[in-house]
Amino acid sequence: MTTSGATRISCFVSRWFSRIRTGAREGGAGIAALFYPPQCVTCGAPVAWGEVLCATCEEHLPGRVGPHCDRCGDLLDDERVDLCLRCGTHLRGFERAISLGPYDGGWRTLIALFKFDREKAVGRWLGLRLADAAARSLSEVACVTHVPMTRAERKARGGNPSQELARVVARRLRAPERSLLQKTRTTRPQRTLPARERAVNLRGAFRGVRSGTGTVLLVDDLLTTGATVDECGRVLKSEGYSEVYVLTVVRA
Ligand SMILES: [Zn+2]
Ligand SMILES: [Zn+2]
């Protein structure tokens, strides 16, 4: 056999095993499940189907400590104030941001697995927890939407992680999931820019594609300064929606 033939077969076998492993982690039944029972993604302990973390690792997911801004959830130095400097001095595009935890420890691992390694089972697990957090904080939402990407960005990422989360959230909340926004141009990654350049980077990058009324739940994976959701929220309000609540896995 030629070297390239052997390499092709070896690639095929490795892809096959990887598919079986992914199927098992995603809760796939059948023979694959016998060989690859689901494991905790951080410590490797066995977990029940549909779970991605064992009870111990879930318990150790970092929580929010100290006072934080009533609107965006940023940590505050002074517990006598309700809002951070940014929320206190800028008109924000959303009413309140809800997140599951800080961008740290196990949350950071989960985000990396979902966003960069594209582990769909982790996305579903995160989506369900986001839905439960939203249900605890909000009484009614007209629809659930996501922060959009351009076609090139979706292709590079292998889909839009925010939309995948929004779908799970909507299903769990029994609310309609709608694509209300479109991203009109590729922008530089927000995390690479200083805070003052982030709003400029996004200006005019989103447009509304469907008008409506009521409260919108806007889903994204990560919230940093909130410049992206600010811009999206402003567009949604210009389309007629009265309130925008932001729901993200983590708050950096
Ligand atoms: Zn574990
Ligand atoms: Zn704030």
89 alpha carbon, closest ligand: 2
Ligand 1 centre distance from Cα of residue 62 (Å) = 14
Ligand 2 centre distance from Cα of residue 88 (Å) = 7
Pick from 12-16, 52-56, 144-148, 190-194: least confident? 12-16
Same domain assignment for residues 112 and 24: no
92 alpha carbon, closest ligand: 2
Same domain assignment for residues 129 and 16: no
pLDDT at 52 over 50: yes
Which CATH number belongs to the domain containing residue 66 in this structure? 3.40.50.2020
57 alpha carbon, closest ligand: 1
83 alpha carbon, closest ligand: 2
| Residue 40 belongs to a domain | no
User: pLDDT of 147-206, one tens digit each?
Assistant: 999 999 999 999 999 999 999 999 999 999 999 999 999 888 877 888 778 878 888 899
What is the pLDDT at residue 50? 84
Pick from 6-10, 83-87, 130-134: least confident? 6-10
| Residue 42 belongs to a domain | no
88 alpha carbon, closest ligand: 2
Closest CA to 102 of 65, 138, 76, 72: 65
Same domain assignment for residues 74 and 147: yes
More confident of the two residues 135 and 32: 135
Ligand 1 centre distance from Cα of residue 54 (Å) = 4
Same domain assignment for residues 166 and 242: yes
pLDDT at 10 over 80: no
Same domain assignment for residues 226 and 162: yes
Same domain assignment for residues 174 and 225: yes
Average pLDDT in the 106-135 region? 95
Ligand 1 centre distance from Cα of residue 43 (Å) = 4
Ligand 1 centre distance from Cα of residue 232 (Å) = 36
Ligand 2 centre distance from Cα of residue 180 (Å) = 25
What is the pLDDT at residue 28? 46
pLDDT at 14 over 50: no
Closest CA to 40 of 59, 29, 55, 28: 55
| Residue 48 belongs to a domain | no
| Residue 229 belongs to a domain | yes
Same domain assignment for residues 237 and 165: yes
Give me the percent of the chain exceeding a pLDDT of 90: 70
User: pLDDT of 63-96, one tens digit each?
Assistant: 988 899 999 999 998 889 999 999 999 999 999 9
- Please, are residues 236 and 244 in contact by the beta-carbon 8 Å criterion? yes
Query: What spatial distance separates the first Cα and last Cα of the chain, rounded to whole Å?
Result: 52
The CA-atom distances, in angstroms, between 128 and each of 32, 63, 78 are 25, 18, 33
Average pLDDT in the 43-62 region? 94
Ligand 1 centre distance from Cα of residue 128 (Å) = 19
Same domain assignment for residues 17 and 100: no
Residue 60 burial (C-beta neighbours within 10 Å; 0-12, 13-18, 19+): middle
- Please, are residues 134 and 217 in contact by the beta-carbon 8 Å criterion? yes
Same domain assignment for residues 20 and 86: no
- Please, are residues 38 and 48 in contact by the beta-carbon 8 Å criterion? yes
pLDDT at 39 over 60: yes
Average pLDDT in the 132-148 region? 95
The CA-atom distances, in angstroms, between 162 and each of 82, 100, 171, 179 are 29, 15, 14, 11
Average model confidence (pLDDT) across the chain: 87
Same domain assignment for residues 165 and 101: yes
What pLDDT band is residue 238 in, cutting at 50, 70 and 90? Answer: very high
Q: How many domains does the chain have?
A: 2
pLDDT at 26 over 70: no
Range of the domain at 69: 62-251
55 alpha carbon, closest ligand: 1
Same domain assignment for residues 241 and 144: yes
| Residue 47 belongs to a domain | no
pLDDT at 109 over 50: yes
Ligand 2 centre distance from Cα of residue 206 (Å) = 22
Ligand 1 centre distance from Cα of residue 125 (Å) = 14
What is the Cα–Cα distance from 47 to 109, expressed in whole angstroms?
A: 17
The structure's pTM equals: 0.84
pLDDT at 16 over 50: no
